[in-house]
Copies of this chain bind each other. A is one copy, B any other.
Amino acid sequence: MKFIAGLAAVTLLLVPVYAQVFTFTHDDMLKYTAQNPFERFADGRPKVPDTLLERVKGLSAEEVWAVLPEGGFRNQYEGNFRILHPNRKLVGRAVTAQFMPSRPDVSNIMQADAKAKGMRDNGNQRVIDLLQPGDVLVVDLFGKIEGGTVVGDNLATYIYAITGTGLVVDGAIRDLEGIQPIDMSVYCRGVHPTPIGDVMLTGINVPIRIGNATVMPGDVVFGDSEGVYFIPPQMVKQVVDRADETHIHDEWTQMKIKTRKYKSTDIYPTPRDPELKKEYEEYKKQRLGQKQ
């Protein structure tokens, strides 16, 4: 009994307090991420294991795409970002935040809530202070550039120090010259010197929209030099397993291509000649064995 009570206390301690219009309760989080096969954070957010995140780092964009739409997930990709460090893969667990254009009647109520809970004024920092190692902050700032700058170099330094990952924002950053040298992945729509303003933080760790993608808290964020995927936790294992096979396929195909002895249709997408097909199957079998 005592043990349970103690646990509850700890949980209460760990579950962050919010002051937003939209907040998922612990129950909401469980309900809408019910398919998550992994453990969870104190607030219910799915926690895809680090070992799996490590494997995600080896993925290519096509390998994600090859699996998600088949599972009915057609709206999990967004491109058209300005990307800092495009050659650095961004992989982590989504912490989501939603902003809207400010209106004082709503904004004042949330500010009063925040104050009552001992929080500071700035909405962006309220979210940032929730971040944990391996998290990726994903922010809907509705494409706002001027006054839509979620962080400057000080807060970017903070995010990277805590998470070791990066940031996705449908909005802007400021202080590019201070952020560029930090080895963190940033996906934004633009850069502007203005501080963030005339917006209000309306949601934390709720479903948000980034362009044409719907993001859930706990999704695995995968960013490469093309754009960003938001992979539902329950799909991650399937994606990385399929990718192993694709890697081997591409390895073999490109090896053959470089001999310059074949037409592309002889070997791609699949070898046409039965002999070649057999050769490929054996190669795959052997390499899959090595991978496991």
**Chain A interface (Cβ within 8 Å of chain B)?**
21-22, 28, 31-35, 60-62, 64-65, 71-77, 79, 100-106, 109, 119-120, 122, 125-126, 128-129, 142, 152-155, 157-158, 161-162, 174-178, 180, 190-195, 198, 200, 202, 206-207, 209, 212-214, 216, 224-227, 232, 234, 250, 253-254, 257-258, 260, 263-265, 268-269, 272
Instruction: For A61, give its contact among B104, B126, B128, B176 (CB under 8 Å).
Output: B176
Chain B residues in 8 Å Cβ range of A152: 62
Minimum CB–CB distance from A144 to chain B (whole Å) comes to 8
Given contacts A176-B61, A209-B101, A226-B176, contact A268 B214 (CB under 8 A): no
Which residues of the partner chain B approach A142 to less than 8 Å between Cβ atoms?
209, 212
Chain B min CB distance to A60 (Å): 5
Known: A75-B198, A109-B32, A257-B158. A225 touches B176 (CB 8 A): yes
Q: How far is the CB of A165 from chain B (nearest CB, A)?
A: 14
Q: How far is the CB of A174 from chain B (nearest CB, A)?
A: 6
Q: Which residues of B contact A178 (CB under 8 A)?
A: 60, 250
Report B-chain residues with C-beta under 8 Å of the C-beta of A155. 264, 268
Q: Tell me the minimal C-beta distance from A215 to chain B in angstroms.
A: 9
Assembly CA distance A158 to B234 (angstroms): 36
Instruction: Tell me whether A154 and B268 are in contact (CB under 8 A).
Output: yes
- Please state if B62 and A106 are interface contacts (CB–CB under 8 Å): no
Residues of B within 8 A of A180 (CB): 225
Task: Identify the closest chain B residue to A265 (Cβ).
Answer: B120
Subset of 12 A-B contacts with CB under 8 Å = A35-B105, A61-B193, A62-B174, A74-B102, A76-B103, A100-B214, A106-B214, A129-B263, A161-B258, A180-B225, A191-B226, A192-B226
Q: How far is the CA of A128 from the CA of B193 in the complex (A)?
A: 31
Which residues of chain B come closer than 8 Å to A105, judged between CB atoms? 32-35, 216, 232, 234
CA–CA, A22 and B100, complex, Å: 15
Contact: A104 with B73, CB < 8 Å?
yes
Which of A75, A180, A260 has most B Cβ within 10 Å? A75
| From A64, A109, A158, residue with most partner B Cβ within 10 Å | A158
Q: Check A75/B61 contact, CB under 8 A, given A142-B209, A226-B177, A268-B158.
A: no
Contact B60 A106 (CB under 8 A): no
Chain B residues in 8 Å Cβ range of A21: 28, 32, 206-207
**Bound state CA distance, A126 and B263, in angstroms?**
9
Question: Do A193 and B265 form a contact, CB below 8 Å, given A214-B103, A258-B157?
Answer: no
Beyond contacts A122-B265, A153-B254: 6 other A-B pairs, Cβ-Cβ < 8 A, are A22-B206, A101-B213, A105-B234, A154-B257, A154-B268, A192-B226
